[in-house]
Amino acid sequence: MKNKCGIILLSTIVFGICGSAIAQSPPTSKPIYTQAELKQNIADGLANIAEVEARRTKIMQNTQSGCIEGNCRDGKGTFVNKGGSSYSGEHQRSMPNGYGTFNWSDGAQYTGDFVNGAKHGHGTYITENGDKYFGQFVEGYPEGRGTSNFVSGDKYSGNHVKNVPNGFGTYYSADGWIYVGDHVDGDSHGQGTYYFSNGQKYIGAFEFGVFQGHGVAYYPNGDPFFKGQWRNNQPVK
């Protein structure tokens, strides 16, 4: 019985049958299965395992990451990640290197230069909500000269550091006002010019988004109406 069950263990399908036979059948020298039946059971079991494995492989192919086209090691190819994002373009050492397009599963997209898997060089990035940046990238971030067009209608064109306006740039508001000048961490800060939507303008010092320091305000016809110190957007008289 021991040797017979050892043979039957080859088929995971009949393992439970063998176990119950040992537990419930009285001792006998007669085999539970003929040799032909045993071979058939093993064949059926292996066929079932193969079918299950085929279904499993198909499911994994639809969900796991992998190269689906071309050369994703050192050449041009398309790689799909398990989460649904994908990259199509140039590869080196199995990483995006060169020119290509990365699509995120949430709808965001970057098309441009890559270095060692990171956005680096020139490119265009579109967020999932439709905001668009095109310009320079450094190690994954918009950095250097670039332009952002927002779905709100606002626009910024100028220098960036780590995805934030820093340095000289121009901000165009959908409401009609325009700021041209220095930025620090996204705020107008330093020297600049603010153009009101009604034609007036202010030229002078800014501190974190407000008129602060020395500046001159002008009427729409170009005549100055105040020159001097400002504090929190108000002239100091």
> Are residues 180 and 109 part of one domain?
yes
- Rounded to whole angstroms, the Cα distance separating 121 from 141 reads 10
> Are residues 98 and 74 part of one domain?
yes
Residue 35: what pLDDT? Answer: 52
> Are residues 9 and 99 part of one domain?
no
Neighbours of 11 (CB within 10 A): 21
> Are residues 114 and 20 part of one domain?
no
Mean pLDDT over the full length of the chain: 80
Residue 53: what pLDDT? Answer: 47
Q: Is the pTM of this model over 0.85?
A: no
Listed as ranges, residues in the chain with pLDDT below 70 are 1-64
Here the contacts of 10-13 (C-beta below 8 Å, separation 24 or greater) are 10/42, 11/41, 11/42, 11/44, 11/45, 11/46, 12/45, 12/49, 13/41, 13/44, 13/45, 13/48
The parent domain of residue 53 ranges over 2-63
> Are residues 138 and 90 part of one domain?
yes
Last residue of a domain, one of 63, 84, 112: 63
> Are residues 84 and 50 part of one domain?
no
> Are residues 70 and 122 part of one domain?
yes
> Are residues 52 and 120 part of one domain?
no
Residue 63: what pLDDT? Answer: 42
Residue 226: what pLDDT? Answer: 96
> Are residues 72 and 59 part of one domain?
no
> Are residues 158 and 80 part of one domain?
yes
**Domains: count for the chain:** 2
> Are residues 80 and 54 part of one domain?
no
> Are residues 161 and 127 part of one domain?
yes
